[in-house]
Amino acid sequence: MQTALITGSTGFVGANLARFLIAKGLKVRALVRQNSNRGNINELNLEPVVGDLQDPSSVSKAVDKVDYVFHVAADYRLWAKDPQEIYDNNIKGTKNLMEACRVEGVKRIVYTSSVATIGMPSNGQIADETDIGVLEKIIGHYKRSKFLAEQCVVEMAGKGLPVIIVNPSTPIGPYDIKPTPTGRIIVDFLNNKMPAYINTGLNFVDVDDVVNGHWLALHRGRPGARYILGGVNLTLREFLECLGSIVGRSAPTIRIPYSVAYAMGSANSVWSKFTGREPMVPLEGVRMAKRMMFFTSAIAEKELGYKHQPIKPALQRAIQWYKDHGYVN
């Protein structure tokens, strides 16, 4: 039986991937922190290995005698009291894991990056993998850390490491335990805490498609190549309308001007510096929202055989999971 190590198995994408790999008949090993909330994986038949990506010795132990590695773990926050934590988790942790894979001779590695590393065309066209990001133009610590981590992976792939990069867009589905910033939009909508919206757009994808894309990348991807795992491009207004059609509620009709949203984000950021608490309106999120972040998965479709489903079933499963787990009042 082949063995696969997953980092980030207690999180959103990782928990879904763990279930997928177990169903495929693989023996799954999960690198988990000592104090991690394991609610997403408690009932799964997998082998937990306690460790930390910033501890090379525990990483080496986790990688020992595995065939495949899926590096899904990431510090995904739009605000942090100490932003250096995000860089250490996403860059240093990735370097440690890739080096351990090299030393142990892991057969194939799939690194979960993000569309955050993709450059957005200045002419407003839909972006793909050929659009290379520029660090100076990337907004926010999370996105910059993922860009720098991906560059490390590309460099090691150029030296022979058999690693394939996948760049999911905005996954939707169950097991979004924190939840992610997108999950918070859904939860806030369900709890009647979203009276207005900002004019922005995202690429939304069923988390099942993202997980299947990881599997396809493992078996069909070219080492060093990156593949966008996306779905459908929607404005935030369209996304909220889709949510409303599922739960029988009207989407907000008030659009907040960008200047007002920016002022709110700036004020929240100043307040957070004094309180040490996460702002209700993260300024980085507002700055990201200024542009439509639309992507295409055409290259993944051509090279991997990747396909994406309609987003509404994923939203229905996500809503039910949030309700079942006490996120909805």
Q: For residues 149 and 151, what is the distance between their CA atoms, to the nearest angstrom?
A: 5
Residue-range domain boundaries for the chain: 3-173+205-231+296-309
Percent of the chain with pLDDT over 90: 72
Report d(CA 293, CA 93) in Å as an integer. 27
For 3-58, how does the pLDDT look when each residue is reduced to its tens digit (9 = 90+)?
999 999 999 999 999 999 999 999 999 999 999 899 999 999 999 999 999 999 99
Question: Judging by DSSP bridges, how do beta strands 232-235 and 201-206 pair with one another?
Answer: antiparallel
3-173+205-231+296-309 adopts what CATH topology? Answer: Rossmann fold (3.40.50)
User: What pLDDT, in 10s, does the model give residues 62-107?
Assistant: 999 999 999 999 887 766 777 888 888 899 999 999 999 999 999 9
**Structure-token match 């773990």, residue found:** 73
Q: From residue 136, how far is each of 77, 133, 140, 144, 148 by CA, in Å?
A: 19, 9, 10, 9, 11
Average pLDDT in the chain: 90
More confident residue, 219 or 125: 219
Cα-only R_g, the chain = 19
Closest CA to 166 of 234, 256, 230: 230
The three-point CA angle 72-319-244 to 5° equals 125
- Continuous segment of H or E residues that includes residue 31: strand 27-32
| Amino acid in the structure at residue 60 | S
Q: Which residues touch 305 (CB under 8 Å, ≥6 apart)?
A: 216, 220
pLDDT band at 258 (very low <50, low <70, confident <90, very high): low
Global confidence as pTM: 0.92
**Residue 267, CA distances (Å) to 96, 165, 279, 283, 289 in order:** 38, 37, 9, 9, 17
